[in-house]
Homo-oligomer: A and B are copies of this chain.
Amino acid sequence: MQEQEIIRRYFNYPVGSGGSGVTLGVGDDAAVLTPPAGQLVVSTDTLNGGVHFFADADPYLLARKAAAVSVSDIAAMGGRALWLTAALTAPATTASDWFLQFSRGLASSSSDYVYTVVGGDLTCGEQLSITTTVIGVCTTPPLTRAAAQVGDDVWVSGTIGAAAHALAVRLGTLPAAAAADMQAAEACLHNPVPRQTLAAALATTAHAMMDISDGLLLTAEEIAKQSTVAICLDAEALALPASFVALNGEQQRQCQFVGGDDYELFFTAPAAAAEQIATLASAAKIAVPLSRIGKVSAGSGVTVQLKGQPLSFATSGYCHRFS
């Protein structure tokens, strides 16, 4: 099938399918959009086959994850996704059912997080690759990485480390837990939930915010660097994923601090707001554990403690390296 036919059949999303303000969606030289009041927030992410996902990844979940990665960046600014473009490179041998499932995954994400797919590109290439760009809106001042203040508490949403555990089991480098627990961990890896509703609820309370895509330690280091502060984290304060019963303490901490692909929120907030923040965990439409895991102080760098003793890690998290 030709690219135009695949786009017409599978990717011709209706303009009113999710977000608002879409005059013209997929199919012309460019989409035509009317922005609402507020500042726009824009983020772009690429997932490559063989690097970010296995070449045999389920196309429905792959589309959802690619979209979630960018929606999560919008959430981490305290914003709300409006519009998404998806550029898909696929081998010429890709079957039409693969495109259908990918298209359905994207549609389900756009419905879940209330945005519209307004454009993209479909090209041939040896390697499967997806680049998503999400445009969102902030109606409150954006939550940057540079806004942590001395005295702030450090919080994370969800249970950090389950995605890294699921990946390590697939790679054969860590032991598996019982099937039901591994299923939950695999859902974290393959079908992450961008914390858009939580972030919006925190938008006028939190100071700095960032999503944990490349590992908790790397995220803390980035916030500390951009905010010119020191951050101390307490390893015992992190909620434990159920699958962690299969791991010893050192394996658990490796997944929690250095593993990536969590897409949970890392944020700092004034200590006085702690009680108010804790109640959000059980709020309607949020329902995610919130853990207060550390403190911001004057200085620089990140320290991690376990029962008062400092922990050290060989690397800070996931990053691409070039020659």
Q: Chain A residues in contact with chain B, CB under 8 A?
A: 1-4, 6, 23-24, 27-35, 39-46, 48, 50-52, 73-74, 76-77, 79, 83, 85-87, 89-90, 92-96, 99, 118-127, 129, 131, 133-136, 138, 142, 144-146, 209-211, 226, 319-323
A40 touches B35 (CB 8 A): yes
With beta carbons under 8 angstroms apart, the residue of B121, B134, B320 that contacts A45 is B121
Residues of chain B contacted by A126 (CB below 8 angstroms): 50, 126-127
Residues of chain B contacted by A135 (CB below 8 angstroms): 42, 135
A73 touches B42 (CB 8 A): no
What separation, in Å, do the CA atoms of A232 and B105 have in the docked complex? Answer: 42
Copies in the complex: 2
Q: Closest chain B residue to A86 by CB distance?
A: B44
What separation, in Å, do the CA atoms of A283 and B86 have in the docked complex? Answer: 38
A16 shortest CB reach to chain B, Å: 17
A31 shortest CB reach to chain B, Å: 5
B77 touches A46 (CB 8 A): no
Residues of chain B contacted by A32 (CB below 8 angstroms): 39-41, 77, 138, 142
Residues of chain B contacted by A34 (CB below 8 angstroms): 39-40
Residues of chain B contacted by A27 (CB below 8 angstroms): 145, 226
B29 touches A211 (CB 8 A): yes
Q: Closest chain B residue to A123 by CB distance?
A: B46
